[in-house]
Amino acid sequence: MKKILLAFAMAFSTTILFAQQTTFPVNGSFDTRPGMFAFTNATIVVDANQTLTNATLLIKGQTIQAVGAGVAVPKGYVVVDLKGKFIYPSLVDAFSSYGITEAAGATRGFGGQRQSIFVSTKKGAYGWNEAIRPETYVKNIFSVDTKKADELRKVGFGSVNVISRDGIARGVSAAVSLNEGADNAVILKDQTAANYSFNKGTSSNDYPTSLMGSIALLRQTYYDAAWYGKQKEEYNISLDEFGKQQTIPQIFEVDGWQNVLRADKIGKEFGKKFIIKSGGDEYQRINEIKATGASLIVPISFPKAYDVEDPAEARNVT
């Protein structure tokens, strides 16, 4: 039975913030009417607890107008009969680097040969350490990757949360759909979360050179941002952005169960409830991880399917 994957549950927002592109010039004739479609007589899986039969889904442009059994089809909609077929919500990747180019060494840890650089080499009124880069906004560096988007759609994904994985304070991620088209037409939400890690990334500064140093630098940044918000003597782009981002969701990437606990401890110290992107080994200390009360983004690696075309080889697969 054919199954239809449709971007039916949108990431981080119940509405799409950007309509179809109308601000760019178009050469030649073009149709400005919004696409209006009614998918009727389908079995629609709304979520894990609700499945509708003989239902209708109405879409106008890039938004879902209505879904349910007995929904009337308004005039002007193109009707597509999906009797005997299914509509499913697409998957959402909550932690992705889709659409941005990761700089070499962006997720690098510590060590390596470096010259002695004690303060930031970045031009502008930024903070002193390049590993603290909250001024990075994914919306400013994102670009549609048609090939990768097609690969993700084929395995069921419809949207992703795009994160710049460079630095300790990494800036703000953005939610994008995996549609094809102009960059400005696929952004669903331009600010989804502030992001952190214990890795200094591409920073050219000597410090930090250890996990302890990363923890100290991040904690000091929280204290500095609190001070900065109460003074008017200087302007600091990094601290200004860091402070502004404390009211949106906070995502912290770690690479082991020990660092889940460390990140959670920092969060509790400064009154933050981190969503922690773990390394997949948190089961080793499941009780301690559960006790944090933190929400986790857990990586899933699907094994390659066995080749069972040969009956003789298939007998070896259990």
Residue type, 293: G
Provide the pLDDT for residue 3: 41
* Structure confidence by residue, pLDDT tens digits, 40-56: 999 999 988 999 999 99
How far apart CA 143 and CA 168 sit, in angstroms, is: 23
Report the DSSP pairing between strands 187-189 and 174-177: antiparallel
Kindly state whether residues 126 and 247 are assigned to the same domain.
yes
162 forms beta bridges with: 96, 174
Provide the pLDDT for residue 147: 96
Is it the case that residue 169 has pLDDT exceeding 50?
yes
Kindly state whether residues 148 and 98 are assigned to the same domain.
yes
How far apart CA 34 and CA 158 sit, in angstroms, is: 20
* Structure confidence by residue, pLDDT tens digits, 201-210: 999 999 999 9
Is it the case that residue 23 has pLDDT exceeding 60?
yes
Asked, for residue 205, whether it belongs to a domain, the answer is yes
- Give me 267's structure tokens: 């969060």
Kindly state whether residues 82 and 113 are assigned to the same domain.
no
Q: What is the mean pLDDT of residues 16-28?
A: 60
Q: What is the mean pLDDT of residues 62-85?
A: 93
Please state, as a whole number, how many other Cβ atoms lie within 10 Å of the Cβ of residue 124.
8
CB of 218 closer than 8 Å to CB of 196: yes
Provide the pLDDT for residue 111: 56
How does residue 13 score in pLDDT terms, banded at 50, 70 and 90?
very low
Is it the case that residue 125 has pLDDT exceeding 80?
yes
DSSP-derived secondary structure for 93-140: EEEE-TTSPPPTTTT--S-S------S---SSS--S-TTB-TT-BGGG
* Structure confidence by residue, pLDDT tens digits, 214-225: 999 999 999 999
Average per-residue pLDDT in the chain? 88
Asked, for residue 99, whether it belongs to a domain, the answer is yes
Distance, C-alpha 252 to centroid of its chain: 12
Q: Which domain holds residue 53?
A: 3-18+33-89
Last residue of a domain, one of 253, 286, 305: 253
CB of 246 closer than 8 Å to CB of 172: no
How does residue 24 score in pLDDT terms, banded at 50, 70 and 90?
confident
Residues in contact with 55: Cβ distance below 8 Å, sequence separation at least 6, in sequence order: 41, 42, 43, 44, 67, 68, 69, 71
Asked, for residue 291, whether it belongs to a domain, the answer is no
* Structure confidence by residue, pLDDT tens digits, 261-289: 999 999 999 999 999 999 999 999 999 99
